[in-house]
Amino acid sequence: MTQFSANLGFLWQDMSLPEAIRAAKSAGFAAVECHWPYETPAEQTKAALDDTGLKMLGINTVRGNPGENGLAALPGRQAEARAAIDQALEYAAQIGAGAVHVMAGFASGPEAAQTFAENLSHAAGAAAALGITILIEPLNRHDAPGYFLQTTDQARQIITEVGAPNLKLMFDCYHIGRTEGDITTRFADLRDIVGHVQFASVPDRGRPDQGELNYAMIFADLAAKGWSVPLGAEYKPNGPTAESLGWMAPLSKV
């Protein structure tokens, strides 16, 4: 039976984070994850997690200034990037989150690549002492033009270069589906570095029982390859979240 994690960056956005965690539990999710929880005191988030028995699988580092999309690959911004990493790790440790997604930001070129690798090395070292995984995620060029990390091949190269065992790939079926396709083959090729899986329909990032990707087939393939961690539902509901969950029961049976 396939289990799912509710991404509270998109689901139940009309609720506070603690309320959204409780709503996810009531809806049958096995875990939660979110983008930027920092406006909610960690003790409130942890209380909701403890009350529901759900685990927070991961959170993101902050985006930076308005219009930015992460800091870790921006040359000359290392102090800010590492402050964002340290902030995320501290919050994650307080709530028992398993992973931190370090956002690269809009950048390109060799200097950006070196900056990103150095910041990821710092992040992985600090996270290892806390038992936390560091994730990096390629974002598709349609939604995030100019984002530093754009392909899974680029992500593998960076992960290999940094060489930290707790640095992994966020395998987002939506982003990969929009830029590379062939989801099941890409997952097989990348299985050794995957740290988390997310999904949404392609191309509209809506609920997963529509669009170009056959998630019943994809989820069955992931299970056959031994993936048993709850899959991250990071989609944009068209209306109230509770009314968008008709996909859960059928796809959980895969």
Q: Write out the catalytic residue numbers.
A: 137, 234
Backbone angles phi, psi at 223, to 5 degrees: -65, -40
SS3 195: strand
Distance CA 248, CA 33 (A): 17
11: exposed, middle or buried (C-beta count within 10 Å: 0-12, 13-18, 19+)?
buried
SS3 93: helix
Distance CA 229, CA 217 (A): 17
Q: What is the distance between the terminal CA atoms of the chain, rounded to a whole angstrom?
A: 6
Within the chain, residue ranges assigned H as helices are 17-27, 42-52, 78-95, 110-128, 152-162, 173-179, 183-190, 215-224, 248-252
SS3 228: coil
